């Protein structure tokens, strides 16, 4: 895998919105945080445009992202927010120059589209907190600090408390994945990921529980769960019950889907749509260790 250069004080970082729309006030706090790290911040030309639920038209969002990808002065790109829309522009992007001069792309949720595309190009990226902070909520500094530490190469591991449903064991493999619904939407496309021998991370938000079951069954039947090295389940936020009576909890659904396999499974990793969203190096070879006393992720 190609690893972009880690950041240094004085570097320029860009903010663009490949998916949902936002207001300027929603990124003011994060810009202050990024500048406190010694970074300069540039924002996309069309960042605050609005077209339906999107941050401008498909072409405008693609142009903003493309310009930042091709700008040799920008060392990392933090996506402003998720929502929906990245899949509408992925085919409009040209990665030719980016491959020769890669930089960190940061985001989660809908930005899983970009993580998957970069994985196919064998370029590392960062699953982590984005720029949008909606008032009156305060930024979670644990999440921002974990992103800073990863961007500046100051973190190599996470140590967590074990979760009761976790399956014990050790595994080593390339970290892939992201938002489960987005991964499901990429099935059969050129951006679908090969999970064989890898450690798969998944998280999701605001889905019906039976939708989680449907997506896990898709991954199982398609073989994506069979030959994993390990599985990490992050936050499953604001899951909804339906009138059908399907009541299984998300972690129970995931545990059942992988119950016949022999690899370790780590539940409760703090990444996704909750307050604490630890930054993860996607495309990096990592080790996961789960036992009755601790859960570790090391790279």
In the chain, the domains with their CATH numbers are 12-151 (3.40.50.10740), 157-298 (3.50.30.60)
Query: Which of the four pLDDT bands, split at 50, 70 and 90, describes residue 91?
Result: very high
| Burial (Cβ within 10 Å: 0-12, 13-18, ≥19) of residue 145 | middle
287 is catalytic: no
Span 178-192, pLDDT tens digits: 999 999 999 999 999
Tell me the percentage of the chain whose pLDDT exceeds 90: 95
Long-range contacts of 183-188 (CB under 8 A, 24+ apart): 183/112, 183/116, 183/215, 183/219, 184/215, 184/218, 184/219, 185/87, 186/87, 186/112, 186/113, 186/116, 187/218, 187/222
Mean pLDDT of the 278-286 span: 98
Query: pLDDT averaged over the chain?
Result: 97
Tell me the percentage of the chain whose pLDDT exceeds 70: 100
273 is catalytic: yes
Q: Which of 26, 124, 203, 207 is catalytic?
A: 203
Q: In this predicted structure, what is the pLDDT of residue 245?
A: 81
Q: Which of 115, 119, 127, 273 is catalytic?
A: 273
Q: In this predicted structure, what is the pLDDT of residue 139?
A: 81
For β-strands 295-298 and 157-160, DSSP reports them as antiparallel
Q: Which of 30, 109, 116, 146 is catalytic?
A: 109
- In this predicted structure, the answer to whether residue 223 has a pLDDT above a threshold of 90 is yes
109 is catalytic: yes
Length, in residues, of the chain: 299
Please state, in angstroms and rounded to a whole number, the distance separating the CA atoms of residues 167 and 148: 31
| Burial (Cβ within 10 Å: 0-12, 13-18, ≥19) of residue 135 | exposed
Span 149-161, pLDDT tens digits: 999 999 999 999 9
- In this predicted structure, the answer to whether residue 278 has a pLDDT above a threshold of 90 is yes
Q: In this predicted structure, what is the pLDDT of residue 135?
A: 75
């Amino acid at each position: 895998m190609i690893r972009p250069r880690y950041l240094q004080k004085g570097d320029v970082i860009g903010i663009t919105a490949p998916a949902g729309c936002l207001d300027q006030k929603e990124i003011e706090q994060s810009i202050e945080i990024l500048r406190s790290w010694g970074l300069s911040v540039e924002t996309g030309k069309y960042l605050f445009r609005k077209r339906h639920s999107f941050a401008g038209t498909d072409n405008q969002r693609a142009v903003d992202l493309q310009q930042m990808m091709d700008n040799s002065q920008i060392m990392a790109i933090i996506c402003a927010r998720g929502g929906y829309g990245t899949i509408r522009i992925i085919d409009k992007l040209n990665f030719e120059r980016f491959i020769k001069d890669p930089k960190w792309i940061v985001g989660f949720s809908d930005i899983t589209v970009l993580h998957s595309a970069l994985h196919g190009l064998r370029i590392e990226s960062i699953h982590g907190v984005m720029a949008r902070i909606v008032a009156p909520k305060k930024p979670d500094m644990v999440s921002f600090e974990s992103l800073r530490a990863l961007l500046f190469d100051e973190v190599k591991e996470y140590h967590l408390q074990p979760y009761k449903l976790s399956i014990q064991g050790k595994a080593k493999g390339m970290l892939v994945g992201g938002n489960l619904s987005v991964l499901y939407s990429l099935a059969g496309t050129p951006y679908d990921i090969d999970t064989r021998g890898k450690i798969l991370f998944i998280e999701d938000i605001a889905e019906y529980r039976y939708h989680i079951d449907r997506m896990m069954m898709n991954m199982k039947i398609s073989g994506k769960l069979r030959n994993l090295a390990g599985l990490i389940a992050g936050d499953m936020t604001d899951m909804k019950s339906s009138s059908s009576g399907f009541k299984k909890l998300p972690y129970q659904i995931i545990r059942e889907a992988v119950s016949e396999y022999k690899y370790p499974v780590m539940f409760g990793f703090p990444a996704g749509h909750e307050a604490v969203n630890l930054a993860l190096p996607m495309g990096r070879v990592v080790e996961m260790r789960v036992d009755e006393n601790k859960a570790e992720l090391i790279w």
